Amino acid sequence: MVLFFLVALAILALVNFYICFRGWQALPPHSLWRTGFLVAILFFSLSFVAGRLLERVWLSPVSEALAWIGSYWLAAMLYFFLAVLAIDILRLLLLIFPVVPENVLEAVRRERHWILVGTVGLVALLLVAGHLNAAFPRVRELDLTLERPLREGRLRVVVASDIHLGTIIGRQRCDRIVQTINRLEPDLVLLPGDVVDEDLGPVIRENLGESLRAIKARYGVFAVTGNHEYIGGADEACRYLEEHGIRVLRDSVVTLPDGLQIVGREDRAMRQFAGRARKSLNDLLSGLDSSKPVLMMDHQPFQLEEVSRAGVDVQLSGHTHHGQIWPLNYITGAMYEISRGYRRIGRTHFYVSSGAGTWGPPVRLGNTPEIVVLTLHSPEHP
């Protein structure tokens, strides 16, 4: 993990340097604009890491402001990088294929600072649109017919993955998610990982647990760990959630009165952060009643064929955010068999949610946050 973070920091540094260098070139020589630009880029590029580190030792308005500024910069950085890369590719093509007159190119060079201004304006508009899009989760509904019966014939399950409670997803967003869940009148609420966003300090400071305690469901609220619980300390996060009415299934099983068996897997990050492996799927499913349906929560959607062969009826996952910001959805689409949405493999229904919250930038472009309503039907009650 140390190597992973070092590589990530190196990539961030190189991308910021590329943006900074090309933007600096676009400004008039020997102008104060160049100095201001360098100072601004340095501040923005360091603010996210500085804010997240600072909140671990001094949770304050300063750490919160740095985290917010840095979070927005992560999204802005991606689009500035894409814009600069596109311009440089275009310049290279014009060198290879000189189809534009030289006097036109020279005029563009003299006014290139306006290209910088236009790019900044466009990125700002994208951030505003992405923030508004991310602030309001949509409700998605799906009906699934199981092969094994439920006692009552039907069960209404509300799923909210990847909320990422913390500095960025605070009390207002949390209350909005809880109100939406309660408005859907669920029999059961499931939170498939990344309920909290690494550091528990901001969650405690804003008393977000009391907001979660307001969730109303006949059979209760169940969660599993995600990689972000492990990054911030899984035991402390799970203890906090349990103290506020959420039962965290850590490689364990609970059977509801209507017969549904809910299996909760520890996240795969357990090995990296806790130094031990989670239970194997066979060990976890051994001893279950084969006449009753099995619903499993596993935060990261890997090894789906194995899950299908094991006889699980429904698996719920999150983690991918479906890239969260275009065009990162193409990366998650390549990494995961299901980046977002529903698929049936064998007898198993899989749903991978894009998540109710956000990580890093409070911005979504190219996809939407969601709260999912699954209505599970017995075979005789389609």
String of DSSP letters for 52-116 = HHHHHH--SHHHHHHHHHHHHHHHHHHHHHHHHHHHHHHHHHHHHS--S-HHHHHHHHHTHHHHH
pLDDT digits (tens, 9 = 90+) for 343-369: 999 999 999 999 999 999 999 999 999
Q: How far apart are CA 309 and CA 346, in angstroms?
A: 8
DSSP 28-58: PTT-HHHHHHHHHHHHHHHHHHHHHHHHHH-
Enumerate the CATH 3.60.21.10 domain ranges in the chain, comma separated: 137-377
Six token digits for residue 318: 């999150």
pLDDT of 382 higher than 70: no
Greatest CA separation for the chain: 79
Residue 167 CB coordination number (10 Å): 25
Q: How many CA atoms lie within 13 A of 122 on its CB side?
A: 13
Cα radius of gyration rounded to whole Å, the chain: 24
Q: Is the pLDDT of residue 1 over 70?
A: no
Cα separation, 222 vs 250, in Å, equals 10
* Share above pLDDT 70 across residues of the chain, in percent, rounded to a whole number: 99
CATH of domain 137-377: 3.60.21.10
DSSP string, 315-343: EEE---GGGSBTTTHHHHHHH-S-SSEEE
Q: Please give the pLDDT value at position 111.
A: 87
**pTM across the whole model:** 0.94
- Average model confidence (pLDDT) for the chain? 95
Whole-angstrom CA distances from 283 to 280, 311, 333 are: 5, 13, 30
At residue 8, the pLDDT reads 86
Which SS3 state, helix, strand or coil, does residue 135 take? coil
The predicted structure's pLDDT at residue 6? 86
Per the model's pLDDT, the better-predicted residue between 113 and 192 turns out to be: 192
Q: At what angle do helices 32-57 and 2-26 cross, to 10 degrees?
A: 160
Please list, in sequence order, all residues whose beta carbon lies within 8 angstroms of the beta carbon of residue 239, skipping any fewer than 6 positions away: none
Contact in structure between 224 and 193 (CB atoms under 8 Å)? yes
Mean pLDDT value across residues 136-155: 95
Using CA atoms, how far apart are residues 65 and 48, in angstroms rounded to an integer? 9
Q: What is the pLDDT of residue 109?
A: 85
What is d(CA 228, CA 270) in angstroms, rounded to the nearest whole number?
A: 10
Q: Return the exposure string of 295-326: e unless at least 16 CB atoms fall within 10 Å of the residue's CB, then b.
A: bbbbbbbeebeebbebbbbbbbbbbbbbbbbb
Which residues is 138 bridged to in the sheet? 370
